[in-house]
Structure formats: C-alpha cells, structure tokens
Amino acid sequence: MEAKSMLPFGTRTFVMGIINLTPDSFSGDGLMKSSAMAEAAVQQAIRFTEQGADILDLGAESTRPGAETLDASSELERLLPALERIVALKLNTIISIDTYKASVAEACLQAGAGMINDIWGLKHDPQLAGVAARHAVPVVLMHNRSHAKFLQKSETLGGRYVGTTYQDLMNDICSDLQESITIAKTAAIQDQNIILDPGIGFGKTVEQNLSIIHHLGELRRLGYPILLGASRKSFIGYTLDLPVEDRLEGTAAVVALGINNGADIIRVHDVQAMVRVARMCDAILRN
C-alpha cells in the first residue's frame, strides 16, 4: 500500500488530544464513568477539534503506572463504538489508536483510524509492526523501561518510578529507540511514518523525566519527528506537590520547553490551553 501523507513537520507544532475510554485514567478523565461512553467520546472529539487538535488519540487501556492490562476483546469493546462514530463525523483530524496489540490495531485501522501510538515501541507484540506497514499509517514508537519493582505510589500524587538507572540517560533512550526503528524498518514501515516518543513517566524517575525535557533535542540525532507526552504526569505533581487536577501550569511549562527543545507533537489533555501555548511558542521560535 502506498504511504499516506503525514503532517508537515517543521512548519508548526501539532497537538494530539487525549480521549481516554477507561475507568482508571491517571488524569481522572476516563470516559467509562459515563453510561453513554461512545457519545461522551464523540462530544470530546468535537470539542477538541474545535479547540485546534490535529490528532485525536483514543485509548481504552490505562497506561498509568500499575494499571491492570486489558485483553484485546475488552479493549475493542470500548474502542470500536466510539471510533466508528467519530470516523463518521469526518472531522479534520487524524484518529490515532493508543494500543500495543496487533489485533486491536488491525480492527481499528479497518474501522477508519489512521495512526498507531504504541507505548512499547513495537517490542510487545511482534505482529504490530506488520499491521502498521500494511496499512501504511504513522506509528509512534515510545521508549519504555517500566517495571513494577521500581514503582512507588502516592494516594494524592500518583505513581512514580524510583531507583531506575541508566548508564547514560539520553544515549540509552536513543539506543532503545533505535531498536524500535529497526523493527519498524524491517517490517517495511516507511521513514515518513515513524515518530519517536521518549516515554516520559515510563520507567523514569522524576529527575530523569526533568532531564529528558531539558535534553529532548538529543533525540533529533535519530532523524525522526518527536512526540512529547507529559500532560498532567506525576513528575509534574511531585515537582510542584500538586494533585493531577492542578497541573495545568506545570504542563504548560513542560510543553513550552519541550517545543523549544524540539517536540513536533504534544500529546495533551487540556487541548484549548495547550494549543494556545503551542501557537505562542511557534510565533516566537518560527518567526
């Protein structure tokens, strides 16, 4: 299949709005609390599009530290009703599916999704790279060294990783991501469909997350667009000693510095506010 056109990276910062079809999202915005989950997702998709989102990222399995995994059948039961209704709206956005399972990705791409966001960088399900290649869609390869033994939880601030070590943080992340790139290219995923994510919060301490933001530009050596997903995450909460509902300003600071340091896409919960941050940054940096 011929590769589909991707976003014109380098022209501006693109915004990915998070739509959580989960009961236990760390950010507290899961739509499973609603008896009309699909309708709630549709309304959120419309609102995010009106607020300036370029991509809508639908996820049905919580990726918060310590969350329970979901089987593919249950994941699709949550995803497909909302996805099909959002696709039918013909919004001017790309619809991304936040999954690491090949069967889920296949069903959602057939239903009209146009992008895959894999938190395990194609290393969890060996079939996923082939699915992305056959459909010729963009795929986000995220860095992830999460391990339960390093997880520490706080009732008010959420989960964080402690004691995780790297020989050289940014070099190690680049090396791990290069492995994901090799998997992608071996499966015939084209270069223009590869996006990299440093995996903020996934197997990194608070200090390591802060360092990644500061040194984000080092990922440029790999030659691919960068997605930054730091919205409302616990490293912001632990830095500011604030619960998830009070992390807007912290998120805005991270987004602004991330854009300055090379992020091409920002993945966020608060679309309207972060679109404004991104546009202001672009006005300064791309003048």
What are the residue ranges of helices labelled H in 6-68?
37-50
Q: Which residue has the tokens 């202001």?
A: 280
Look at residues 6, 16, 17 and name the one whose alpha carbon lies nearest to residue 136.
6
Domain that holds residue 169: 14-285
Give the span between the Cα atoms of 196 and 182, in whole angstroms.
Answer: 13
When divided into structural domains, the chain yields a total of: 1
| DSSP annotation string for 140-184 | EEE-----GGGEEEETTTEEEE-S---SSHHHHHHHHHHHHHHHH
- SS3 state of residue 269: coil
Residue 150 has pLDDT above 60, yes or no: yes
Q: How confident is the model at residue 106 (pLDDT cuts 50, 70, 90)?
A: very high
Position 122 scores a pLDDT of 98
Question: Between 102-110 and 128-135, two packed helices, what is the crossing angle to 10 degrees?
Answer: 20
Residue 167 — left, alpha, or beta (φ > 0 → left; ψ -120 to 50 → alpha)?
alpha
Burial 100-112 (b: 16+ CB within 10 A, else e): bbbbbbbbbbebe
In-domain check, residue 182: yes
Residue 62 has pLDDT above 90, yes or no: no
State the catalytic residue, choosing from 267, 276, 279, 286.
Answer: 267
Position 4 scores a pLDDT of 43
267 catalytic residue (yes or no) = yes
- SS3 state of residue 244: helix
Per-residue pLDDT tens over the stretch 183-209: 999 999 999 999 999 999 999 999 999
Q: 3-state DSSP: the chain helix, strand, coil percent, rounded to 5?
A: 45, 15, 40
Give the span between the Cα atoms of 201 and 260, in whole angstroms.
Answer: 20
Give the span between the Cα atoms of 201 and 246, in whole angstroms.
Answer: 18
Position 186 scores a pLDDT of 98
Look at residues 257, 200, 191, 202 and name the one whose alpha carbon lies nearest to residue 224.
191
In-domain check, residue 2: no
H-run or E-run covering 56: strand 55-59
State the catalytic residue, choosing from 64, 78, 160, 233.
Answer: 233
In-domain check, residue 7: no
4 catalytic residue (yes or no) = no
In-domain check, residue 8: no
Q: What is the CATH number of the domain that holds 120?
A: 3.20.20.20
In-domain check, residue 209: yes
What mean pLDDT do residues 247-251 have?
98
203, two tokens:
């197997």
Percent of the chain surpassing pLDDT 70 = 91
Residue 31 has pLDDT above 90, yes or no: no
Per-residue pLDDT tens over the stretch 127-146: 999 999 999 999 999 999 98
Per-residue pLDDT tens over the stretch 203-232: 999 999 999 999 999 999 999 999 999 999
